[in-house]
Amino acid sequence: MPTRIVHKESLIPGTTSKLVLDAPQIASTAKPGHFVMLRIDEQGERIPLTIADTDKEQGTITIVYLVMGKSTAALENLKQGDSILDVCGPLGRATHIEKQGTVICVGGGTGIAAMHHIAKGHHRIGNRVVGIIGARSKNLLLFEKELSSFADELLISTDDGSYGHKGFVTELLQQRLAADKSVFEVVAVGPVPMMAAVAKTTQPFGVKTTVSLNSIMVDGIGMCGACRVTVGGETKFACVDGPEFDGQLVDFAELRRRLGAYRSQETLSLEQYRCQCHG
Amino acid sequence: MDNAKPKKVIAPRTEMPCQPAAVRARNFKEVALGYTPEMAIAEAKRCLQCKKPGCMKGCPVEIHIPEFIAAVTQGDFDAAYRIIKGTNPLPAVSGRVCPQENQCEGKCILLAKGQPIAIGRLERFVADQHIAGTACEEVSGSSTCTMAPLCDDGNKVACLGSGPATLSCAGYLAANGIKVDVFEALHEAGGVLIYGIPAFRLPKDVVKKEIDAMRQLGVSFKTNWVGGRTVQVSSLLEQGYKAVFIGVGAGLPLFLNVPGENLIGVFSANEYLTRVNLGRAHSFPAGSDTPVYPGKHVTVFGAGNVAMDAARTAMRMGAESVHIVYRRTRAEMPARREEIEHAEEEGIQFEMLAAPLHFNGDANSVLESVTLQRMELGEPDASGRRRPQPVEGAVYDLPTDLAIIALGTRSNPILLDATPELDKNKRGYIVADEETGETSIPNVFAGGDIVTGAATVILAMGAGRRAAKEICKRIKG
Ligand SMILES: Cc1cc2nc3c(=O)[nH]c(=O)nc-3n(C[C@H](O)[C@H](O)[C@H](O)COP(=O)(O)OP(=O)(O)OC[C@H]3O[C@@H](n4cnc5c(N)ncnc54)[C@H](O)[C@@H]3O)c2cc1C
Ligand SMILES: Cc1cc2nc3c(=O)[nH]c(=O)nc-3n(C[C@H](O)[C@H](O)[C@H](O)COP(=O)(O)OP(=O)(O)OC[C@H]3O[C@@H](n4cnc5c(N)ncnc54)[C@H](O)[C@@H]3O)c2cc1C
Ligand code: SF4
Ligand code: SF4
Ligand code: FES
């Protein structure tokens, strides 16, 4: 059954939007860390998107996407009230959440939305949540309001200094870890280079570091191996063994290369789509 | 004149017409074209109508083979269809992909002369006569829908997964008036029949028609439902389903575990075939958004049906050369003979007695070649098969820009991890009663690849049918 978009909100015009989907079955079982696979129409490709929030009473889930290629561009063309043909989930292993003390949740770019759900889970169980979010510029910062509504602290950085600390999230993280020994875990969700940098930053402190990997996926249920990543020298399937892994063990360089495997076909697909749209 | 010749002279086996190899190697249309009525009747007439037919013992779903063949000789294809459909809900599928040479045809009395009756081809012919008609005709064998009246609506059964095991279970139950809801994780029903076996061996329309026929019998297919995630086995029972059948297959692909396996250009056969079949990547970008990695010089590792399908698909996607790399020899290849022959005719090359040592990439980690170890067959091992062993110093490189690994699969953990009450065997598959298919959870049944490990369509169908018989008995008394 197609899934209806009950609410659509543009977060960064033309590139990032938030969709609230009517998916009661998924909402009732989804936990922080889970994702869905969705396919827009008959011709569509299955793509993975993180569940950024759920409302169990309303029976809805929230997704936030960055327009990258054909599928996300087509998603951006849908309106409130339209339907998505296939939405499958919740998939992946849920985040391990336990009451332990202070957790630092780092988010970059669109990853802030995904991180938001994890941070909320930590908050609900009673952990002290320090959020660190970053973007290139102030107008590209997502979910600040949502996060500040529950986070015990929220630190912000922008590359251009238009808001908060001028620089990278890792600098804020570094300062914080040096000053605060009560942190039991750092969670990072964002672009691959950011997650790699976070893992490098936390390493000297020996603090547990969890990252959420966004490898290319086909089925999302463990049947193809497209999503394989090397963790601690072993091959893992991000869709069933992850998507969260120990940041110190992930081969980020390999992940970044593998994400580019289909670049020329993806460009072709997007160009064709843009041509059709603009007649 | 030779008067002492009482035996019937048996004509040679009727060949199946095929698309010419050079043409078909570049298209996705079906390779084997099927018998004409004349060919079918001629082939059927070769059957000796044995009193104790060996052929039937070889069929896991117990088709009454001599009876249906007799009907074909009469030209009564409707009657033949009803006989087949009486025990086999998917004859158009099994007639195409069953390993007949090891099943029914392997037990035919005429095998001794090397020319068994072409039972599979006849089954396909009879089924195709009906595929041409409407779904109702397919189900009931007549032009009117003779749906079994649904028994009490409270008597419903849930099936997880929608491959041949479930389809045969659901078909049997529906024909007996029991309401069935099928929950499938992917966006399309049919299991390996849809995402694995390519259209040039099993056209997708054939599968869709059979599934539509089941819909008409009241089976509902709910796609995008993942057992163990979207829905739990225990909650299905709590919701009032009288029984649950688990037919989720064995989907987790195995890799070689050699260096370089995560280079760009190395894929599992499951991924490659799923992109092309389920994602219809052959019509990318105009008709489908799912791309598949292009390869000019393709290597495929493994020698079963899956390897043949991957190699032949790569050829159709435009490869200049395709090599199947296998560490034993052609005689040991587990794929069906017919598939090996078809592959060879289409220009697939066999690199026998070779095992991959590592994959090699360029500076950007894009696959360039594979390093192979030359093997030879040594002494027979415990199973009697001669064991391949490396020829010392014989190591060489084969250039390749697309490598496809087809080594087999393991059980998929999603449902099993979420359902710890289900007993598993050492290999990680579900333990189910041989007769009834019941698992360690009462009224929860399982069958197909998730019980046996990767096997065949017809064995999965046999298991689905056995479970359905038991479920039917429990519900209807
Ligand atoms: C578990 C998981 C959760 C995800 N959650 C989100 C989310 O919440 N929001 C969101 O915006 N995106 C998320 N992603 C990434 C998202 O799936 C991709 O951006 C999307 O598939 C791109 O599809 P497309 O057709 O628009 O672009 P494509 O045409 O497929 O790709 C365009 C460009 O993006 C790159 N690319 C392809 N796949 C990925 C990928 N998986 N990650 C990063 N770059 C990629 C390609 O190299 C290419 O250059 C997630 C990925 C995973 C695996
Ligand atoms: C490429 C290829 C070629 C083959 N060729 C032949 C051949 O020529 N002849 C032959 O006899 N056999 C062949 N086989 C083997 C045959 O297809 C399988 O043995 C058979 O399909 C097994 O049937 P099944 O019903 O057990 O499972 P499957 O067909 O594997 O179907 C299982 C279904 O369950 C779904 N699923 C998985 N997990 C879940 C979950 N948690 N919840 C809900 N649904 C789930 C899957 O998406 C899938 O649709 C081939 C296999 C492959 C891969
Ligand atoms: S179902 Fe398979 S084994 Fe049975 S008669 Fe048909 S081809 Fe032979
Ligand atoms: S064993 Fe062969 S010849 Fe005998 S009935 Fe069966 S198909 Fe006919
Ligand atoms: S996406 Fe196919 S195995 Fe993970």
Q: Which residue in A46, A90, A261 is closest to B229 by CB distance?
A: A90
B26 touches chain A (CB under 8 A): no
Q: Chain B contacts of A90, Cβ < 8 Å?
A: 229-230
Domain finish residue from A162, A177, A212 = A212
Do A40 and A142 fall within a single domain?
no
Residue B152 C-alpha from the chain's centroid: 34
Nearest-Cα residue of chain B relative to residue A219? B186
Helix (H), strand (E), coil (C) string for chain B:
CCCCCCCCCCCCCCCCCECCHHHHCCCCCCCECCCCHHHHHHHHHCCCCCCCCHHHHCCCCCCCHHHHHHHHHCCCHHHHHHHHHCCCCCHHHHHHHCCHHHCCHHHCHHHHHCCCCCHHHHHHHHHHHHHCCCHHHHHHCCCCCCCCCCCCCCCEEEEECCCHHHHHHHHHHHHCCCEEEEECCCCCCCCHHHHCCCCCCCCHHHHHHHHHHHHHCCCEEECCCCECCCECHHHHHHCCCCEEEECCCCCEECCCCCCCCCCECEEEHHHHHHHHHCCCHHHCCCCCCCCCCCCCEEEEECCCHHHHHHHHHHHHCCCCEEEEECCCCHHHCCCCHHHHHHHHHCCCEEECCEEEEEEEECCCCEEEEEEEEEEEEEEECCCCCEEEEEEEEEEEEEECCEEEECCCEECCHHHHHHCCCCCECCCCCECCCCCCCECCCCCEEECCHHHHCCCCHHHHHHHHHHHHHHHHHHHHC
What spacing in Å lies between the alpha carbon of B470 and ligand 3's midpoint? 22
Do A27 and A116 fall within a single domain?
no
Q: Kindly identify the ligand whose nearest atom is closest to the C-alpha of B311.
A: 2
Spatial contact of B255 and B391, defined as CB atoms under 8 Å apart: no
Spatial contact of B342 and B335, defined as CB atoms under 8 Å apart: no
Do A162 and A203 fall within a single domain?
yes
pLDDT digits (tens, 9 = 90+) for A132-174: 999 999 989 999 999 999 999 999 999 998 998 899 999 999 9
Q: Chain B contacts of A221, Cβ < 8 Å?
A: 185-186, 226, 251, 412, 414
Q: Where are the domains of chain B?
A: 21-131, 146-251+411-476, 253-405
What spacing in Å lies between the alpha carbon of B341 and ligand 2's midpoint? 24
Once rounded to an integer, what is the mean pLDDT over residues A170-183? 91
Spatial contact of B467 and B447, defined as CB atoms under 8 Å apart: yes
Once rounded to an integer, what is the mean pLDDT over residues B104-126? 93
Q: Give me the pLDDT at residue B209, please.
A: 87
Residue B134 has pLDDT above 50, yes or no: no
Sheet holding B243-246, edge to edge: B220-222, B179-183, B156-160, B243-246, B444-446
- Range of lowest pLDDT (B145-159, B202-216, B406-420, B458-472): B145-159
What architecture is domain B146-251+411-476?
3-Layer(bba) Sandwich (3.50)
Q: Give me the pLDDT at residue B150, please.
A: 54
Q: Do B146-251+411-476 and B253-405 share a fold?
A: yes
pLDDT digits (tens, 9 = 90+) for B406-438: 998 999 889 999 999 999 999 999 999 999 999
Spatial contact of B18 and B33, defined as CB atoms under 8 Å apart: yes
Spatial contact of A6 and A80, defined as CB atoms under 8 Å apart: yes
Does B252 contact A223 at a Cβ distance shorter than 8 Å? yes
Do A66 and A125 fall within a single domain?
no
Q: To test ligand 3's pocket by mutation, which of B100, B167, B202, B457 has the most ligand atoms within 8 angstroms of CB?
A: B100
In a domain, A42, yes or no: yes
- Tell me which amino acid residue B334 is: P
- A140: DSSP letter: G
Spatial contact of A222 and B414, defined as CB atoms under 8 Å apart: yes
Tell me which residue has its CA closest to atom 36 in ligand 1. Answer: A259
Which residues are paired to A236 by β-bridges? Answer: A229
pLDDT digits (tens, 9 = 90+) for B232-261: 999 999 999 999 999 999 989 999 999 999
Please state the atom number of ligand 3 nearest to the C-alpha of residue B62: 4
Q: How close B280 comes to chain A (CA, Å)?
A: 9
pLDDT digits (tens, 9 = 90+) for B48-57: 999 999 999 9
How many residues does the structure list for chain A? 279
Average per-residue pLDDT for chain B: 90
Q: Chain B contacts of A1, Cβ < 8 Å?
A: 222
User: For chain B, first and last CA: distance in Å?
Assistant: 64
Nearest-Cα residue of chain B relative to residue A217? B271
Q: Give me the pLDDT at residue A195, please.
A: 95
The residue ranking higher by pLDDT, B25 or B87, is: B25
Task: Output the ligand 4 site: residues, CB below 6 A.
Answer: B 47-50, 53-55, 65-66, 108-110, 117, 119
- A138: DSSP letter: G
The B residues from 203 to 232 touching A (CB cutoff 8 Å) are 222-226, 229-231
CATH, domain range B253-405: 3.50.50.60
Tell me which residue has its CA closest to atom 1 in ligand 4. Answer: B108
Domain that residue A21 falls in = 3-91
State the angle between helix axes of A169-179 and A192-202 in degrees (0 to 180), rounded to the nearest 10.
20
**Cα A102 to Cα A186: distance, rounded to the nearest angstrom:** 9
A86 touches chain B (CB under 8 A): yes
C-alpha dist (Å) from residue A92 to A49, B280, B385:
11, 25, 41
pLDDT band with cut points at 50, 70 and 90 for residue B149: low
Query: Which parts of chain A are beta strand (E)?
Result: 3-12, 16-22, 35-39, 47-50, 53-55, 60-66, 83-84, 86-91, 102-108, 128-135, 153-158, 165-166, 183-189, 208-212, 228-231, 234-237, 244-246
In a domain, A87, yes or no: yes
Does B291 contact A262 at a Cβ distance shorter than 8 Å? yes
Kindly state the tokens that stand for A177: 């870890």
Please report the ipTM that was assigned to this predicted complex: 0.92
Do A130 and A57 fall within a single domain?
no
Does ligand 1 have an atom closer than 6 angstroms to the CB of A49?
yes
Does B289 contact A269 at a Cβ distance shorter than 8 Å? yes
Does B274 contact A219 at a Cβ distance shorter than 8 Å? yes
Tell me which residue has its CA closest to atom 49 in ligand 2. Answer: B191
Count of CB pairs separated by less than 8 Å, A with B: 118
Do A138 and A186 fall within a single domain?
yes
**Cα A235 to Cα A226: distance, rounded to the nearest angstrom:** 11
pLDDT digits (tens, 9 = 90+) for B344-373: 999 999 999 999 999 999 988 999 999 999
Does ligand 3 have an atom closer than 6 angstroms to the CB of B456?
no
The tally of CA atoms less than 13 A away on the side-chain side of residue B198 is 32
What spacing in Å lies between the alpha carbon of A265 and ligand 1's midpoint? 14
- pTM for the full predicted model: 0.92
Does ligand 2 have an atom closer than 6 angstroms to the CB of B227?
yes
Do A157 and A187 fall within a single domain?
yes
Do A50 and A116 fall within a single domain?
no
In a domain, A233, yes or no: no
What spacing in Å lies between the alpha carbon of B50 and ligand 4's midpoint? 6
**Cα A185 to Cα A101: distance, rounded to the nearest angstrom:** 9
User: Which CATH number goes with the domain that contains A134?
Assistant: 3.40.50.80
The H or E element containing residue A28 is helix A24-29
Domain finish residue from A172, A194, A212 = A212
Q: How close A156 comes to chain B (CA, Å)?
A: 35
Q: Give me the pLDDT at residue B151, please.
A: 58
Residue B8 has pLDDT above 80, yes or no: no
CATH superfamily of B21-131: Alpha-helical ferredoxin (1.10.1060.10)
Q: Chain A contacts of B251, Cβ < 8 Å?
A: 221-223
With pLDDT > 70 as the criterion, what percentage of chain B qualifies? 94
Do A87 and A131 fall within a single domain?
no
**Cα B67 to Cα B110: distance, rounded to the nearest angstrom:** 17
Do A10 and A59 fall within a single domain?
yes
Do A25 and A87 fall within a single domain?
yes
Tally of structural domains, chain A:
2
Dihedral, CA atoms, A212, A215, A219, A222, nearest 10 degrees? -70
